[in-house]
A and B are shown apart, each in its own frame.
Chain A
Amino acid sequence: MDFLRPLTWAEALALKAERPEATPIQGGTDVMVEINLDKGRPAALLDLTPVRDLRDWSREGGEIRVGAGVTYSRLIAELGADLPGLAQASRTVGSPQIRNRGTVAGNLGAASPAGDSHPPLLACGAVVEAESVRGTRLIPIGEFYTGVKRNALAPDELIRAVRVPAATGPQYFSKIGTRNAMVIAVCSFAVALDPSVRRVGTGIGSAAPTPRHAPRAEDFAAGELDWDGRGPLDSGVARRFGELVAASAAPIDDVRGRAAYRTHALAVMACRALGWAWDDVRAGDRRGSA
């Protein structure tokens, strides 16, 4: 095994072009588990932690560009107001020790269907900024996940950043697990509302081969919510929204839960999350700040 240690982003891209089989490593919370438990042995590790550029996030227009080296801990501490859905999901990742190392970009690189950051990224329409010596490619999040632990990155590409629209309405993340820490999602759900354009975004985790949207549920809720009057959420609408979310999933039975349980839990989580988000829209109106 080789250990490649680029000091700059340009060097990292050159090394990845030269050694496309090299596995990028950032926080190591997935990569090192594979090696420690002898589940796989990469031909080379490409350590991205020395690349300083990756550790920054920036505000660009209405977007937050989160560098590939920004840890969950920093995202929680610094971006909770701009990216509430992603920050909520980040708070459920592992433990403080894991959040001090793990990154959203690492979650994307691993592309596990159970990764916690995927549902909020889907719900708010994030874009993955992939780069290689050939140039930069912006991949819409809905096109990024291509299979179980597979993504749309070319062999010579690295994730430079993820571009996430700053929230323009309430966002919520919900996750099922056996306890409140150190939990790989049995299933998870995120919702993002944008009242200004009457948009409802969704993201489903750990209930299909890839993280995915629930497009029919999004359209249904966008059409049924009382955007003008801002009245209370109709319980029938909330329930139907949950059913449509569950219908978009394709769960399996596995060690963490049964498919039938996941389907049921998704419907419950989606129904509740839409309720929380809508309550915030209404409360915002009452505060005169929606």
Chain B
Amino acid sequence: MRVNLTVNGRPMTADDVWEGESLLYVLRERLGLPGAKNACEQGECGSCTIYLDGAPVCACLVAAGQAEGREVVTVEGLAAAGGPGGELRDGPDGERDGERDGERDGGPGRGLNRGPDSGLNEVQRAFADAGAVQCGFCTPGLVVQAHALLAGADGVPPDADIREALAGNLCRCTGYEKILDAVRLAASRRHPHPPP
């Protein structure tokens, strides 16, 4: 079957989609967006976290056909945007000027290999600065989920809130301390002067 959806602000179409296929498979294997990672395929690890109509979800548990007509933002889409949704079309680097429908410009690493402050999202920058990355496999899911937490938070969230928000994202390399550091860092950079 054919699935039409909007990914990172651009209309996209996937053809020959198997009816039992997940949105994760469509993103990675058909639309060239390997940022969301395929690990557990059962919603346990959070590595495939993406935004679906503004809510962070596990892409492995969304049937491809359920994404028909919906808005998806993947980790690749965060690099050029301050947040999910409307801001996507106004990326700071102007890359989205003169959009060409259907062209896959959201490929691997887009925006991630440039120098500092060149379009990395604040959460991505904080993960890099805090050293909250090791093998990197869990990182995209954690970045999207942390992004969602901070989008709905004022100031620096208490640790209990950060832990709760990230409870569905597993990292197997290391402890979670630097990941927590990264979330606090991203939040504090947004709110350098928290109210007393």
Interface on A for B, CB 8 Å cutoff? 1-3, 5, 25, 27-29, 31-33, 35-37, 41-42, 44-45, 47, 49, 73, 94-98, 100-101, 180-182
Contacts and interface: CB of A to CB of B under 8 A. Distances in A.
23 contacts: A3-B65, A5-B68, A25-B63, A28-B61, A28-B63, A31-B63, A32-B62, A35-B22, A35-B63, A37-B42, A45-B65, A47-B65, A73-B55, A94-B168, A95-B46, A95-B168, A97-B46, A97-B49, A97-B56, A98-B43, A98-B58, A101-B58, A182-B167
A33 B19 contact: no
Q: Which of A27, A32, A37, A47 has the most CB of B within 10 A?
A: A32
A124 B129 CA distance: 50
Nearest to A32: B61
Chain B contact residues (Cβ within 8 angstroms of A): what range? 20 to 34
A27 B22 CA distance: 12
Interface of B: 1, 18-20, 22, 41-44, 46, 49, 55-58, 60-63, 65-66, 68, 145, 148, 164-165, 167-169
B61 A101 contact: yes
A266 to B, nearest CB: 25
Contacts, number: 91
Contacts of A73: 55
A33 B41 CA distance: 7
A15 B81 CA distance: 41
B65 A5 contact: yes
A1 B49 CA distance: 26
B20 A45 contact: yes
Contacts of B145: 96-97
A181 B167 contact: yes
A75 to B, nearest CB: 14
Contacts of A1: 18-20
B61 A3 contact: no
B63 A45 contact: yes
Contacts of B55: 73, 100
Contact of B63 (A47, A95, A180, A182): A47
A157 to B, nearest CB: 21
A95 B66 contact: no
A50 to B, nearest CB: 8
B43 A94 contact: yes
Given A95-B46, A96-B168, A181-B168, A32 B18 contact: no
A44 to B, nearest CB: 8
